[in-house]
Amino acid sequence: MSFDSKQIRNVVLLGHSGVGKTTLAEAMLFEGGEISRRGSVEEGNTVSDYTDLEHERGGSLFASLEHVSWKDSKINLIDTPGLDDFIGEVVSALRVATTAVLVHNARSGVEVGAELLWEYIETFDTPAIFVINQIDHEKADFDATLEQAIARFGNKVMPFQYPLNPGLGFNSIIDALRMVMYYFPNGGGKPEKHPFPMPKKRGQMKCTASS
Ligand SMILES: Nc1nc2c(ncn2[C@@H]2O[C@H](COP(=O)(O)OP(=O)(O)OP(=O)(O)O)[C@@H](O)[C@H]2O)c(=O)[nH]1
Ligand SMILES: [Mg+2]
């Protein structure tokens, strides 16, 4: 398949060490049909962390480039290491990226690595999207992480997708742009689309997109 330059996106995944960037990259490759089975960092079989050294350390040490086709676009995905010892890998990736995806962890909130990376995003003036990850963790606190992100990075942080039920039973996302709820059935597979669940009274929903 060939793409012209307007259809190509260079996206860099960055974030504090261990937030889940490599796992997210693996999920994106799987959803895009590039791989038929999702590998895991623990099993040492992700596309991104392919070196022996990364398998030994159980985390990314190098920026790695993957490709995924999505609808009529080609996304060049660069997964970067979170440890600040390897910041050079992140800086090189940011220089060629059209979009930065700054990943946070709902279990730990906004961490110091994210603040440092934000300075680089601002230096390169790269448009950024935040992803709040690990929503399924028993200690996940989406609202607190979002509040921290707004407090630290300003009012430009605007949620447009958020989880309906973070924590162990997590299975639904609200997409406020498309006005739709995605429900992920037990056992995985494609999400079901449901109508946007409207609260009966104002302020009744736990996570609101714009209150
Ligand atoms: N429960 C849960 N665990 C996750 C999720 N994403 C990642 N993990 C786990 O978090 C740990 C770190 O994940 P990685 O994908 O290696 O994180 P990373 O940001 O790439 O880490 P570095 O490359 O070392 O910066 C692994 O044990 C993953 O299995 C998630 O959405 N939910
Ligand atoms: Mg990684």
Quote the ligand 2 centre to 81 CA distance (angstroms): 5
Whether 82 is in the pocket of ligand 1, judged by its Cβ within 6 Å, is yes
For ligand 1, atom 6, name the residue with the nearest CA: 20
The reported pLDDT for the residue numbered 83 is 95
How far apart are alpha carbons 53 and 142 in whole angstroms? 33
Residue 153 in this model has a pLDDT that exceeds 60: yes
For ligand 1, atom 13, name the residue with the nearest CA: 20
The reported pLDDT for the residue numbered 34 is 95
The reported pLDDT for the residue numbered 186 is 84
Kindly give, in sequence order, each residue whose CB lies less than 8 Å from that of residue 192, ignoring residues fewer than 6 positions away: 182, 183, 184, 185
- Ion ligand 2 residues within 5 Å by Cβ: 21-22, 60
Whether 22 is in the pocket of ligand 1, judged by its Cβ within 6 Å, is yes
Please give the distance of CA 132 from its chain centroid, rounded to a whole number: 6
Neighbours of 44 (CB within 10 A): 15
pLDDT tens-digit series, residues 59-76 = 999 999 999 999 899 999
Residue 211 in this model has a pLDDT that exceeds 90: no
Got the DSSP string for 67-106? EEEETTEEEEEEE---SGGGHHHHHHHHHH-SEEEEEEET
Instruction: Name the pTM for this structure.
Output: 0.91
Closest CA to 93 of 80, 75, 74, 76: 80
What does the mean pLDDT of the chain come to?
91
The reported pLDDT for the residue numbered 5 is 86
What band does 3 get if pLDDT is binned at 50, 70 and 90? confident
- At residue 124, the 3 state secondary structure works out as helix
What band does 200 get if pLDDT is binned at 50, 70 and 90? low
How far apart are alpha carbons 106 and 134 in whole angstroms? 6
Whether 64 is in the pocket of ligand 1, judged by its Cβ within 6 Å, is no
pLDDT tens-digit series, residues 26-50 = 999 999 999 999 999 999 999 999 9
Residue 197 in this model has a pLDDT that exceeds 80: no
Mutate to test the pocket of ligand 1, among 23, 50, 87 (most ligand atoms within 8 A of CB): 23
What band does 208 get if pLDDT is binned at 50, 70 and 90? very low
Residue 19 in this model has a pLDDT that exceeds 90: yes
Residue 113 in this model has a pLDDT that exceeds 90: yes
How far apart are alpha carbons 8 and 110 in whole angstroms? 30
